[in-house]
Each structure stands twice: as structure tokens, then as C-alpha cells.
A = this chain, B = another copy of it.
């Protein structure tokens, strides 16, 4: 219905209203619900005495803060700059990523807090370093979804996508991690599978048959900017997968496994990219994206004893699948399934995410005391208290169930949000011919440089030509 109206991409009222009202709502809700936890509260010194903690270095801050900062860089510079590859949508790529991540992390602290960090004593959410890592993770799901929609939606739509995305994420995560007691430290299922199918379904519903193609591509320097995003994602992915893993060997192993899987992805991404093109010429789209697939696919199994060569195999396969996706599946999805996926999140997040869930289920199902040791097995899979009787085989089944939950939440949630974003309303989204253009939402500076030398040259050139006449 809304599609028949002429598009008016003026967000002068709607964007400020959404930002102000939602930010005020955050302040009120934080005032009602959010407090410091034992390790970030000034009562920490008393907490130390009570719990016989001898040193401040035992504060969880020191176990996780370096990883948190790496994750933070991935969210804002990694995702942000990866989305600057379009020739005239770099402001929107990095800028709207910034906006929705900054909103999303606040809403995530609340939503995840209600589900995971509620103090039964006083009904309040107690936050510490692990909460802000998880908030960043939660935001990642929405940023992945943004990748499919890059250049085609308004910032107001993105804020709505984020509001619902975070909400769905928190519920999905609660079901997977707590109800099913599934392990997913780096979020192959919870973050990547959910986020990717959420974004793809929305993109499917918002299909634009006459989408302009002239600006849907890169220029030389925008591709170099995008490599900043790629590399910070690639380098810090070991921190992403290890940030909330168990202290000690858990974090240590998760980092090593991810490091290896990513390295293998690079080689196979380069191989397939070269193999597929005339004269073996490499395509920057593949290098910017498919090299990361190994990190996505290790999101579940990174903390398991998958062993170093296991990690390499996962990365090897993912680099191939992901590059192949850019070559074959993305065009197919657009042509036959009417899914327009600007950044190719199906190749970078959906397929490797699902694969990561499967790898995690298999690795969990085949875990044994001989490999992990008794204590190691219990710690790694948290077979404690009411889960003390669970076996690795059962855990594998639950892991697989978790993957289905993530898929279902992504697709159903995406469908709902997609329909909301199509309702006739002042969304401010661009017309088909104005997609991928920063002019719509940004004051874009004139490029005087490129005009000045032309002026000089031209007057010379034209004079010369006319002289010859």
C-alpha cells in the first residue's frame, strides 16, 4: 500500500523525534532498573573481603576488558568501515552503523539484563563488563541485518529494525542459552544466523524491483576504506569468540581456534576469487568479506576442543562456500527469490553461521572425557547443577535445536518487522533511483579538488583544439 505514495525522504521531524524519545525512554528505564554489579560497584572492596578475593586483578574487568575493546572496535570500525565500500554511501555506511549501534547497545543492556542479569533480591539489573560485551554482541545481530539493507532504507527504519532486532535477539538468546542450555560463546547461531536471516527476510519484503544499479558499486578508494573494516574484523575476531568464553583455557583456546580458522579462510577465498575470473583477477568484494567467514563459523565451536586442524578445516570450507556465494548465490537470490542483499550477508553470515552451528553440534556431540578430562568437560559445557546429567550426545542435540531456534527467530521476526517497515507511514526511505546515495540524508561536500585541475586543464585543452581548427 505504502509503495504507491511518492517517496519523501525528509526525516527532519521523524529522526529527531525517534532519537529523543527513545533516548529519554532509555534514561527512565535505566533509572528504574540498572545498577552496577558487585565488581563495578564501590562496595567491591567489601565484596573482596567477604569472598576471600586477595587481589584486584581477580576483578572480571581484567579478564575481559581487552577483549571488550576489540569487540567494540569490530562493532564500530569493523562493521562501519566494511560498509563504506559503496562509492557514494560511505557516510551512510559508517554513520548509520554508528547511530543504531549506539542506540542498540543501550536497549540491549536492558533486554538482556531482564533475561540474564536480574538480581532477584531487588529486581534490578546489575551490569558489569560481561554485560557490555553482550550488548555489543546483541548489536552485531542488527548490524548484520543492516548489511542486507545498506543504501535502501532510512535511518528511521533502521532504528525500528534495531529496536525489534534487539528485542527478538534477547528472547532468542534466552531460549537458546538458558532454556536449551546451549553453548554459543561467539554466536554463530545466536548472532550470525539470527542476524542474517532477520536482515534477509526484511530485504525480501522490502524488495525494490527497479532498484538503481549505477551507484551500487565501489570506487578505488572506497574499496580501500572497506579494507579497514575487513581487517579490524579479521584481526579482532579471536577476541570476539573468546570475549565471554570461560576464564583460563576457555578464552585461550577460543582465541587460537578462531585465529587459525580465519587464516585458512583467507587462502581459500583468494583461491576461488582468482579461479573464477578472467586472467585470475581478484575481486575486492570477495577479499573484503569471504576472508572473514572462518570467524563466523567458529562462533560456536571455538571454545571446544575442536583441535587446531579442525579449525583449519572449518576455515578452509567457509572461505570456499562464502566466495562461491558471492559468485553464484547472491545473483540467484536477487533474480529468483527477489532478495536484494547489498553486502552479501547471506555469504558472510547466514551460510557460515549455520555451518558454525552444525560444527558446534557435532563437536559437542563427540566430546569425551578422554579429550577434555572430567573437569574440563564439565566446565566447558557447564554440565553442572540441573544439567549435571547431560551427556555430550544430548548436548549435540540441544545445540542443533538451538540452531533451529535462531533460524526461526530470524525468519519470523524478519517477516514481522519487514511488514511493519512497509506500512504506509512517514518512514522517509529513498525512492528506487535515490538508493545508495548519501545526498538523501547527508550534507555532502562539493568535491572542489576534482574540479579545479579540470578547469585549468580544460581552458588549455580547449584553446589548443580550437587553435587547430
Contacts and interface: CB of A to CB of B under 8 A. Distances in A.
A60 to B, nearest CB: 8
A105 interface: yes
A240 B195 CA distance: 32
A22 interface: yes
Contacts of A218: 445
Interface string A269-287: 0111011011111111001
Interface string A237-258: 0110000000111011101100
Contacts of A449: 87-88, 219, 447, 450
Given A59-B249, A279-B9, A373-B46, A34 B445 contact: no
B275 A12 contact: yes
A36 to B, nearest CB: 6
Contacts of A59: 247-249, 252
Interface in A1-53: 9-16, 19-20, 22-24, 26-28, 30-31, 34-36, 39-46, 48
Q: In the complex, which of the residues A220, A223, A469 has the most CB atoms of chain B within 10 Å of its own CB atom?
A: A220
B279 A10 contact: yes
A280 B291 CA distance: 38
A34 B281 CA distance: 34
A39 to B, nearest CB: 6
A16 B129 contact: no
A224 B129 CA distance: 30
Nearest to A24: B316
A67 B66 CA distance: 8
Interface stretch (A199-207, A303-311, A407-415, A416-424): A303-311
